[in-house]
Amino acid sequence: MSANSSTSRIPPDHLFMDGTVTAEQFVEFGNGFVHELLLKRCRLAPHERVLDLGCGVGQKARVLAEYLSDDGRYEGIDVFAPAIEFCRSAYDEKKNFRFQLADVSSSHYNPDGKRSATDYNLPYSGNEFDLVFLASLFTHMLPDEVVNYLGEIRRVLNQDSGRCLVTCFLLTDETRAATRRNDPAISYRFDHDAGVCRLLDPQDPAKAVAYDEAWMRGAFAEAGLRICEITYGTWAGGKDMLRALQDCVLAVPA
């Protein structure tokens, strides 16, 4: 890969919408996520088939473009049209990288979307992927939508090789207590109760959502996904050796 393509895969300032605000952060977060979570924890191999659900402007794709071999495959899908347009153009020369737009509604990212995430079918066939990852997607989706996506993830994951990595905000006794405290170390307070989840802003529910951990565990199990490991992030002020903001769930087909 040339230095030019690596640089041209950093989006313009107005497209930063993935929690980063500078090019340096975009690069640092992408490198950290791919190396620590996808390569080390999920043991992603260069020849594997990867689905990046809610791929945004390609923060993870940029790093994967240097790691996946020509036998490997990357699919990214997102509801935010400018992000997909940017990625299509930036990865034009990578024939094994593909980006698709899902015209699915989201109060925060695509309010005029035509389809509902509660019954949207991912445009892939069954057993297609070795790894499906969602970096901060369930943090922007509501419970029925999460249930549908988990079912779809299970369907597209290969029964033998498949694994799934999800980062999200999980409400436990500890994180609930922390969010009630007025502690400046807490990134999000999720003041609004919405049943199995809590919202940052009820006027824009998809702005940020935190889930009851027991509910999330049940939803994975119902979808036929067995959780192997949960690690907790720092978002509610907790200490974390990985220095990750969000909690992280790793699962395989049951």
Stretch of 62-70, 89-97, 137-145, 150-158 contacting ligand SAM, by CB under 6 A: 137-145
Adjacent-strand bridge partners of 171: 212
Least distance to ligand SAM from the beta carbon of 73, Å? 18
Instruction: Evaluate whether 157 touches 164 at the Cβ level (below 8 Å).
Output: yes
Compute the distance between CA of residue 74 and CA of residue 245 in angstroms, rounded to an integer: 25
Neighbours of 171 (CB within 10 A): 22
59 binds ligand SAM (CB under 6 A): yes
Could you give the C-alpha distances from 217 to 51, 172, 223, in angstroms and in order?
22, 12, 10
Stretch of 65-73, 84-92, 99-107, 190-198 contacting ligand SAM, by CB under 6 A: 99-107
Compute the distance between CA of residue 61 and CA of residue 40 in angstroms, rounded to an integer: 17
Could you give the C-alpha distances from 225 to 38, 41, 87, 134, in angstroms and in order?
18, 17, 30, 14
Least distance to ligand SAM from the beta carbon of 218, Å? 21
Stretch of 74-82, 155-163, 190-198, 218-226 contacting ligand SAM, by CB under 6 A: 74-82
62 binds ligand SAM (CB under 6 A): no
50 binds ligand SAM (CB under 6 A): no
**251 sits in which H/E element:** strand 247-253
Applying CB under 6 A, among 37, 137, 197, 225 the residue interacting with ligand SAM is 137
Adjacent-strand bridge partners of 208: none
54 binds ligand SAM (CB under 6 A): yes
Least distance to ligand SAM from the beta carbon of 79, Å? 4
Compute the distance between CA of residue 110 and CA of residue 29 in angstroms, rounded to an integer: 24
Number of chain positions touching ligand SAM (CB under 6 A): 22
When the beta carbons of 147 and 160 are compared against ligand SAM, the nearer one is: 147
Dihedral of CA 10/111/113/152: which sign? positive
Q: Which residues bind ligand SAM (CB under 6 A)?
A: 18-19, 53-56, 59, 77-80, 83, 102, 104, 106, 109, 117, 135-137, 140-141
